[in-house]
Amino acid sequence: MRTVLVTGGTGTTGRRVAHFLRARGVAVRTASRHPVPGDHQHVIFDWAAPETFAAAVAGVDGVFLVAPISDADPAAAVGGFLDAAVAAGTRRVALLSSSAVTDAPSGLGALPPLVRDRVPEAAVLRPSWFMQNFVGSHPVAAGIRERGEIVTATGRGRVAFIDPGDIAAVAGHLLFGAPIPDGELILTGPQALSYDEAAAVVSEVTGTAVRHTSITVEELTTAIEAGGVPHDYARMLAGLDAEIAGGSEDRITTTVRDITGAEPRSFRDFLLAAHPAGKAA
């Protein structure tokens, strides 16, 4: 790829994809709604404003696609964007989907079939839950910081948490031109952990006691709603925890190693890098 557009280019995954490709000499254009002072390769791009698509896709061979998550029907905007990109010469798109999203006629599940249908070379990345959720601004990280508590409805279900740096390395290799493997690209870390086990690792690394409290899906829905999230969306988010409780994320894949040649980073090593002084984020 000569020029790659990274949507969500200032976010957790996108900025890592941009860094990976720039380090290999690829011309990278990052895109998001807000300007990035000093970055002349950044374009203002808004999924809700199709008039911003043409400048973003001009001369672009490959795209890292982070879809609008708050849009109930993202396929409409993404379809228009893909048509503009392919007309401008884009051949390859790496879609950031999720292991928790299955193909469906609407919602985020409509995007994988849409991308495969519209783009000559489509890669759908389905990462498990991000290790990044335990640091920074995510509600899990906020609970750790503010109350020493992680609240979920996952019970003893395990999740093979993944470092977003490993997701970015997979996307980067594919957008650099690596062959797209057949089959589902489920991306996981090296180990599946329950939230009890994850809380123990956080406690050990940060030196601060952190506990996991598992509540019911109904209780979690109410708690998420209390944060200003509409009921249906809160119910959907809480339902993802019920899937975890049922074992949906309790599996390890070799996809990261198969594509990048490197082992994915462990949860402990991720936290040690995020908390070099042994303090909570």
By CB under 6 A, residue 13 contacts ligand NAP: yes
Beta carbon nearer to ligand NAP, 13 or 206: 13
Tokens for 26, please give them.
């690829």
Beta carbon nearer to ligand NAP, 25 or 214: 214
Beta carbon nearer to ligand NAP, 90 or 161: 161
CB of 69 to ligand NAP, least distance (A): 5
CB of 4 to ligand NAP, least distance (A): 15
Nearest alpha-carbon partner for 61 in 82, 86, 34: 86
Beta carbon nearer to ligand NAP, 73 or 209: 73
Three-class DSSP labels, the chain: CCEEEEECCCCCCHHHHHHHHHCCCCEEEEEECCCCCCCCCEEECCCCCHHHHHHHHCCCCEEEECCCCCCCCHHHHHHHHHHHHHHCCCCEEEEECCCCCCCCCCHHHHHHHHHHHHCCEEEEEEECCEHHHHCCCCHHHHHHHHHCEEEECCCCCEECCECHHHHHHHHHHHHHCCCCCCCCEEECCCCCEEHHHHHHHHHHHHCCCCEEEECCHHHHHHHHHHCCCCHHHHHHHHHHHHHHHCCCCCCCCCHHHHHHCCCCCCHHHHHHHHCCCCCCC
By CB under 6 A, residue 33 contacts ligand NAP: yes
- 244 CB contacts (<8 Å, ≥6 apart)? 152, 154, 157, 158, 159
Q: Which of 3, 4, 5, 8 binds ligand NAP (CB under 6 A)?
A: 8
Which 235-254 positions form the footprint of ligand NAP (CB under 6 A)? none
Query: Which of the ranges 19-27, 40-48, 196-204, 234-242 carries the binding residues for ligand NAP, by CB under 6 A?
Result: 40-48
Which x/- pattern, by CB under 6 A, does the window 57-86 give for ligand NAP? ---------xxxx-----------------
Number of residues that bind ligand NAP (CB under 6 A): 24
**Measured between alpha carbons, how far is 107 from 103 in angstroms, rounded to an integer?**
9
CB of 256 to ligand NAP, least distance (A): 14
Query: Which of the ranges 12-20, 113-121, 210-218, 224-232 carries the binding residues for ligand NAP, by CB under 6 A?
Result: 12-20
Which x/- pattern, by CB under 6 A, does the window 112-151 give for ligand NAP? ---------------x-xx--x------------------
By CB under 6 A, residue 270 contacts ligand NAP: no
Beta carbon nearer to ligand NAP, 8 or 62: 8
Residues that bind ligand NAP (CB under 6 A): 8-14, 32-34, 45-48, 66-69, 96, 98, 127, 129-130, 133
